[in-house]
């Protein structure tokens, strides 16, 4: 079975971009990119769970927009009926009534605005939060190879920068679009009712502004994509350079100036892009502002010409009310254009988010895959049946890591895999819990093909202790409970005692509440490894996979950890990937792997007697390392 769906090369992430192994695959991926209508439909779909709140928001926006055009119309009445009535003088009762209505309109509009803001903020942030969790959840389902070829900082950037970049659109778009559209329509209708000739003057250039706005939006969308890519690179540099491992590396080689230079260069690029993104469209909006602000002066001129020519009767109240309504078009119209630009800009961010959501995990449960029975009769048995595994490299080409490998490990047996570096030993340990998918053949666990059972039920029976122990920046107890969330203090202590680490933990001032630091750097290598063993023991799996669990330790720590491993493997199927042959001499069976194939197998004594590859490896490791000759 291939590692990716037939007919589609696996996606490869480089920097902030996703590509494939060759140009043809890249063109195919680009052809599958979501089109704008489809993208908008997916964005709208995000709001579906909040239909009621959105409906209420739209109703509030409509009411607020309707009230926004009332004051200009009341202004006409105030002038023509209150201040300058046809009979002369000032009609105070009518004036007080109209002013009261105007103030009431402002008060109600403000209250509706507060309610509307609460609803839009609630819905927008809920949608953004759900999108972030959905993306995180989808990434959790991706196969291991996705993370081996993708920078952690790039993944973090998608979750933080890209999702955060669409926050304003998710929060404000609905209310802004509905409110501004209703306000513009209502203002336009009011202008027509007041004087249709003046209305033509006010809107004659609108089509040109719409065309210009679309051009500006396309430019901003391109800049937004480059900006997010730069942000991804910045996040990746930060994650790599400021992690404990990165700091140790840079300090060890005195490379801090180079890291600062690399960060500064990318920062300058990001600043330049952000300035371009901010300034793109500013001249356009300045033109819109000049045009809309100049219309009242033109209206006065045209009104004077109409009055002078006797073309129609225009009262002072009509002129004041018209310019007041027209002035109210400025901000809603600019608001609509800004929303349109934001949508075009955010479209690039949504495309990046959906690009990750559309990645299909190369390893997934088959439809209706059953769980592995907890009482399976051959639980703990591992079988490789003519397994071949090809791993795609950075260029998209595949190289064989395992080639036609077959073996069977019985329940409770201790099996070891040895051989030179790069022979394929670790690949064996990854295929058993189905972290990778075989290219040919089958891996069976308890007699079941691992592709035919639910993955979570398979992993439930397998415990892995790797060479690179990962501990969270949390307490020892919290790290142990990662294997069993409801574990009691007694269970924690029992697992720690079995791993020969309880006495060490008890000697710490805070005991099991000791914070281990980033990646466990407050602990020694042996202490971290024994805590990892205790964590696996708390899981209590039927199969224990040890991937060179002691190769990075000193001799004393190795002996302590080895005793813990011996205790942990008792009564379980144990599969040890070993570099130091001294750690597996007591194995029930030893498989020698070379260039992806098993070249011999047997017990330690049998293999030594055979005088083959294992005997040569053992002889090499048994010989003392010659010292360097000192100059005389």
pLDDT of residue 6: 34
When pLDDT is cut at 50, 70 and 90, the band that residue 530 belongs to is confident
Exposed/middle/buried for residue 180 (C-beta within 10 Å: 0-12, 13-18, 19+): buried
Over 80: is that where the pLDDT of 417 sits?
yes
Over 60: is that where the pLDDT of 31 sits?
no
Q: When comparing pLDDT for 154 and 449, which is higher?
A: 449
Over 90: is that where the pLDDT of 317 sits?
no
Share of the chain above pLDDT 90, in %: 15
pLDDT of residue 226: 80
> CA-CA distance, 411 to 542, in Å (whole number)?
8
pLDDT of residue 19: 38
Please state the rounded mean pLDDT for residues 209-213.
Answer: 66
**What does residue 378 show for φ and ψ, rounded to 5 degrees?**
-110, 30
pLDDT of residue 34: 43
Q: When comparing pLDDT for 598 and 218, which is higher?
A: 598
| Strands laid side by side in the 543-547 sheet | 462-466, 543-547, 573-577, 414-418, 589-594, 597-602
Beta bridge partners of 392: 398
Average the pLDDT over each of 1-10, 434-443, 589-598 and give the range with the smallest value.
1-10
pLDDT of residue 186: 73
When pLDDT is cut at 50, 70 and 90, the band that residue 381 belongs to is very high
Structure-block tokens of residue 173: 């778009």
Over 80: is that where the pLDDT of 407 sits?
yes
Q: How distant is the alpha carbon of residue 106 from its chain centre?
A: 43
Per-residue pLDDT tens digits for 247-296: 656 665 667 787 788 878 888 888 888 788 777 767 776 777 777 677 77
Distances in Å between the Cα of 154 and the Cα atoms of 11, 23, 78, 149, 519 are 14, 22, 61, 11, 20
When pLDDT is cut at 50, 70 and 90, the band that residue 328 belongs to is low
Per-residue pLDDT tens digits for 78-114: 877 878 777 777 778 888 888 888 888 888 888 888 8
Domains and CATH numbers, the chain: 36-258+274-357 (1.20.1560.10)
Q: When comparing pLDDT for 294 and 502, which is higher?
A: 502
pLDDT of residue 605: 93
476's CB contacts (< 8 A; 6+ apart) are 505, 508, 511, 512, 513, 514, 516, 531
Per-residue pLDDT tens digits for 344-376: 667 777 888 888 888 888 888 888 889 888 777
Please state the rounded mean pLDDT for residues 59-65.
Answer: 80
Beta bridge partners of 418: 592
Closest to 66 in 3D by CA, of 212, 185, 224, 175: 185
Among all chains, which residue has been given the structure tokens 């996979």?
545
Please state the rounded mean pLDDT for residues 71-82.
Answer: 78
Measured on CA atoms in the order 327, 204, 194, 91, is the torsion positive or negative? positive
Q: When comparing pLDDT for 69 and 367, which is higher?
A: 367
pTM, to two decimals: 0.68
> CA-CA distance, 396 to 4, in Å (whole number)?
12
Over 50: is that where the pLDDT of 9 sits?
no
pLDDT of residue 382: 94
Residue 174 and residue 53 in contact, taking contact as beta carbons nearer than 8 Å? no
Over 90: is that where the pLDDT of 606 sits?
yes
Over 60: is that where the pLDDT of 539 sits?
yes
pLDDT of residue 174: 62
pLDDT of residue 311: 54
Measured on CA atoms in the order 458, 464, 468, 470, is the torsion positive or negative? positive
> CA-CA distance, 552 to 559, in Å (whole number)?
12
Average the pLDDT over each of 65-69, 174-178, 405-409 and give the range with the smallest value.
174-178
pLDDT of residue 400: 77
Mean residue pLDDT of the chain comes to: 78
Q: What is the DSSP string of 241-275?
A: HHSHHHHHHHHHTT-HHHHHHHHHHHHHHHHHHHH
Per-residue pLDDT tens digits for 171-209: 766 666 766 777 777 777 777 777 777 777 767 666 666
**What does residue 134 show for φ and ψ, rounded to 5 degrees?**
-65, -40
Closest to 429 in 3D by CA, of 442, 416, 411: 416
Helix (H, G, I), strand (E, B), or coil: what is residue 619?
helix
């Amino acid at each position: 079975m291939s590692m990716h769906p037939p007919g589609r090369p696996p996606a490869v992430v480089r920097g902030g971009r996703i590509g494939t192994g060759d140009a043809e695959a890249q063109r195919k991926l680009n052809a599958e990119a979501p089109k704008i209508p489809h993208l908008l439909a997916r964005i709208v779909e995000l709001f579906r769970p909040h239909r009621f709140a959105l409906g209420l928001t739209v109703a509030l926006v409509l009411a607020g927009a309707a009230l926004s055009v009332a004051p200009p119309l009341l202004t006409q009445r105030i002038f023509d009926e209150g201040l300058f009535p046809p009979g002369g003088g000032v009609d105070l009762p009518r004036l007080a009534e109209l002013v009261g209505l105007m103030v009431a309109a402002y008060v109600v509009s403000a209250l509706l605005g507060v309610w509307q803001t609460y609803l839009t903020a609630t819905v927008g942030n809920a949608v953004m939060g759900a999108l972030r969790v959905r993306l995180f959840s989808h990434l959790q389902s991706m196969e291991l190879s996705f993370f081996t070829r993708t920078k952690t900082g790039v993944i973090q950037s998608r979750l933080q920068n890209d999702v955060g970049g669409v926050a304003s659109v998710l929060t404000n778009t609905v209310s802004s679009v509905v409110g501004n559209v209703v306000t513009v329509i209502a203002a336009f209708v009011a202008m027509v009712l007041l004087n249709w000739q003046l209305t033509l003057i006010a809107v004659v250039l609108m089509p040109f502004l719409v065309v210009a706005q679309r051009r500006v939006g396309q430019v901003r969308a391109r800049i937004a994509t480059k900006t997010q890519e730069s942000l991804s690179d910045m996040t990746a540099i930060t994650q790599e350079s400021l992690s404990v491992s990165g700091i140790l590396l840079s300090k060890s080689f005195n490379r801090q100036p180079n890291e600062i230079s690399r960060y500064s260069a990318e920062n300058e690029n990001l600043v330049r892009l952000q300035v371009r993104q901010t300034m793109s469209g500013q001249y356009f909006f300045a033109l819109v502002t000049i045009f809309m602000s100049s219309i009242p002066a033109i209206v006065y001129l045209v009104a004077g010409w109409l009055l002078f020519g006797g073309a129609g009767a225009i009262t002072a109240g009509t002129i004041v009310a018209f310019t007041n309504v027209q002035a109210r078009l400025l901000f809603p119209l600019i608001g609509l254009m800004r929303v349109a630009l934001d949508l075009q800009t955010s479209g690039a961010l949504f495309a990046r988010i959906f690009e990750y959501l559309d990645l299909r995990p190369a390893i997934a449960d088959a439809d209706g895959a059953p769980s592995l029975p907890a009482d399976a009769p051959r639980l703990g048995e591992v079988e490789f049946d003519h397994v071949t595994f090809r791993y795609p490299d950075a260029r998209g080409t595949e190289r064989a890591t395992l080639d036609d490998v077959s073996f069977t490990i019985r329940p409770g047996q201790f099996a070891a895999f040895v051989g030179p570096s790069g022979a394929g030993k670790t690949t064996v340990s990854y295929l058993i819990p189905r972290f990778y998918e075989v290219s040919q053949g089958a891996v069976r666990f308890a007699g079941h093909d691992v592709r035919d059972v639910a993955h979570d039920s398979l992993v439930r029976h397998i415990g892995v202790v790797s060479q690179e122990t990962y501990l969270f920046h949390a307490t020892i107890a919290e790290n142990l409970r990662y294997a069993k969330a409801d574990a009691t203090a007694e269970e924690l202590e029992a697992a720690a005692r079995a791993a020969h680490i309880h006495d060490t933990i008890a000697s710490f001032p805070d005991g099991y509440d000791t914070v281990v630091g980033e990646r466990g750097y407050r602990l020694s290598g042996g202490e971290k490894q024994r805590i990892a063993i205790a964590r696996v023991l708390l899981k209590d799996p039927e199969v224990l996979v040890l991937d060179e669990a002691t190769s990075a330790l000193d001799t004393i720590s190795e002996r302590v950890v080895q005793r813990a491993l011996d205790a942990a493997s008792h009564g379980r199927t144990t599969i040890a990937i070993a570099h130091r042959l001294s750690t597996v001499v007591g194995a029930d069976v030893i498989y020698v792997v070379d260039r992806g194939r098993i070249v011999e197998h047997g017990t330690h004594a049998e293999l030594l007697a055979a005088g083959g590859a294992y005997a040569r490896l053992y002889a090499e490791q048994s010989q003392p390392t010659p010292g360097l000759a000192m100059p005389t």
